[in-house]
Structure 1
C-alpha cells in the first residue's frame, strides 16, 4: 500500500474535505482527489461518501482511518524517542490529569518547571476521562488511581483525602459545624456523584448527604467547588492539597474525611529514556516533597 496515498487519505478523513486537506498538505484539490481515487482503485473499495457538505467515511474508510490513526501515533512515539536522544530538554510534552488536580495543584507550580527548562512546551489536557497512553493520546498522566493499562511505568506520588472546608469569613458569620449532624444548618458544596470521579470521593459525599444538609450545590469539578467555597457560599468538600495555596480556608469537622486516594504518575514504557518526561517527573516529585515539608513545618 502506498504510504504517500495513506498520508493523503488520513488528512482528508481528518478534515472531512478535499479542499481543507489540500491546504494542510499544500496540494491542489484535484491532486488530492486523484490520490484518493487511486487508493480506492487499489483497494477496490469506496472510502468516502461524497455529498454537498463534504465527505463522510464509509465503513471501509472508517476501518482504514482507524489504522492510519494508530500508525500516526506510533510514528509520533518514534519521533519523540529520537528527539529525546538529545541531552537538552525541549519540545512538546502532553500531560493529562484531572480538572481539579491540574487547575488547583499542577498549573500554579508550572512556572518552576519553565524557569528550569524554558524550551519545554507543556500541553496540559485536563479531563476526567482516562486517555490511552500506549496509543499516545498523551505522553504522561497523573491519575487518581493506579493505572491498569499494560506497558506503563508507574510511580506513586502521594495520597489525597477529601475533607470539609469553609472560609474564615463564612465561619465568623454562620459558625462552623461541630460534627456531621451540624451540617443540617449549612449549605454543602460538593462534586456531583454523577460526575466522573474516584470512588472514595463519591462515597464520602454520599455519606455526608445522609446527614441531610440544609441545602446543597453540586459542581462537576473541584475547581468550581473551590470557587463557590471561596465566595462564602457554604461548606465544601475539597481535596486536602488545596490548603497550602488557599490559607484562608479552614477545615471543619476534623474527623470527617474520605478514604485515601492514591495519586500516580504514569508514562509508556517506550518513553523510559525521554528527557522531557524525566524532567517533568523530577519536577513533580520535588514539588510534592516541598509541599509535604511546608505542611509539616506548619503543623510544627
Structure 2
C-alpha cells in the first residue's frame, strides 16, 4: 500500500477537513482530495462521509485510522530511540501524572530540569486516567500505585499519606481541634467522593465524615482543596508532599492520617536506553531525595 497516501489519509482523518490537512501537509486541498480518492479506489471502499461541517470516518475509515494511528506511534517510538542515540538530551518527552501531584509538586520543580537541559520539551499531561504507556500515549508516568501494564520499567519513588491541614488564620478564628469529635464544629474540605482518587484518601474522608461533620466543601482535585485551605475555609484533607512548598500550613490532629500510598515512576521497556527518559528519571529521583531531607528537617516525615 502507498505509504504517502496513508500519511495523507491519517492527516485528513485527524483534522476532519481536507483544507486543514492540506495546511499541515503543505499541500493544496485539491491534491489532498485526489490522494484520498485514489486510496478509496485502491481499497474499493468509501473512507469518509462528506457533509457541510467536515468529514466523518466511515466504519472502514475507522479501521484504517486505527491502523495508521498505531503505525504513527511506532514510528514516533523508533524516532525517539534513534534521536536518543546521540549524547544530547533534547526533543519532546510526554509525562503523565495525577492532577494534584503534577500541579502541586512536579511542575514547580521543572525549572531545575530545564536549566540543565534547555532543549528538552516536556508535555505534561495531568489526569487521573491511566494512559497506555506501551502504546505511547505517554513516555513516562508517575502514578499513586504500581502500574499493572506489561513491558514496563517500574521504580518506586516514595510513599505519601493523606493528612489534615488548616491555615493559621482559620485556626485562630475557629480553634484547633484536639480530637476527632471536635470536627463537628469545623468545615471539612476534601476531594469529592465521586472523583477519581487514591483508595487510602477516600477511606480517610469516609472515616472523618462518620463524626457528623455539619459543614463540608468537596472539590474534584487536591489543588482546589489546597486553595480552599489557604483561603481559610476549613480543615483540608491533603497529601503530605505539599508541606515543603507551603510551610505556613499547620497540620492538625497529627495522629490521624491515611494508609501509606506508594508512588511509582514507569516507562516502556523499549525506552530503557532513552537519554530523555533517563534525564527525567534522575531529576525526579534527585528531587525526591531533596524532598525527604526537607521533610526530615521540618520534622514531618
Task: Check if 1:95 corresponds to 2:110.
Answer: no
- Counterpart secondary structure, 1:248: coil
Structure 1: 4+ residue segments shifted above 6 A: none
Aligned to 1:295: 295
Map residues 25-174 of structure 1 onto 2, 5 A cutoff. Answer: 25-174=25-174
Give per-residue Cα distances to partners, 1:212-257, cap 9 Å, x unaligned: 2120100010000000000000000000011111011111111111
CA drift of 1:152 comes to 0.6
Question: Aligned equivalents of 2:13 and 2:273: distance in 1?
Answer: 33
Give per-residue Cα distances to partners, 1:35-79, cap 9 Å, x unaligned: 111111111111101111111100110011111111111100000
CA drift of 1:95 comes to 0.8
Unaligned runs of 5+ residues in structure 1 are: none
- Counterpart secondary structure, 2:95: strand
CA drift of 1:297 comes to 2.1
Question: Aligned equivalents of 2:33 and 2:298: distance in 1?
Answer: 67
Task: Check if 1:242 corresponds to 2:242.
Answer: yes
Superposition TM-score, scaled by structure 2 size = 0.98
Aligned to 2:181: 181
CA drift of 1:100 comes to 0.3
Q: Provide the aligned length of Structure 1 versus Structure 2.
A: 300
Question: Aligned equivalents of 2:212 and 2:43: distance in 1?
Answer: 64
Aligned to 1:217: 217
Aligned to 1:9: 9
Question: Aligned equivalents of 1:65 and 1:87: distance in 2?
Answer: 35
- Counterpart secondary structure, 1:64: helix
Unaligned runs of 5+ residues in structure 2 are: none
CA drift of 1:116 comes to 1.3
Question: Aligned equivalents of 1:90 and 1:27: distance in 2?
Answer: 29
- Counterpart secondary structure, 2:9: helix
- Counterpart secondary structure, 2:253: strand
Aligned to 1:277: 277
Superposition TM-score, scaled by structure 1 size = 0.98
Question: Aligned equivalents of 1:240 and 1:148: distance in 2?
Answer: 25
- Counterpart secondary structure, 2:27: coil
Question: Aligned equivalents of 1:117 and 1:18: distance in 2?
Answer: 38
Give per-residue Cα distances to partners, 1:164-208, cap 9 Å, x unaligned: 000111111111111211111000000111011111111111111
Question: Aligned equivalents of 1:45 and 1:198: distance in 2?
Answer: 47
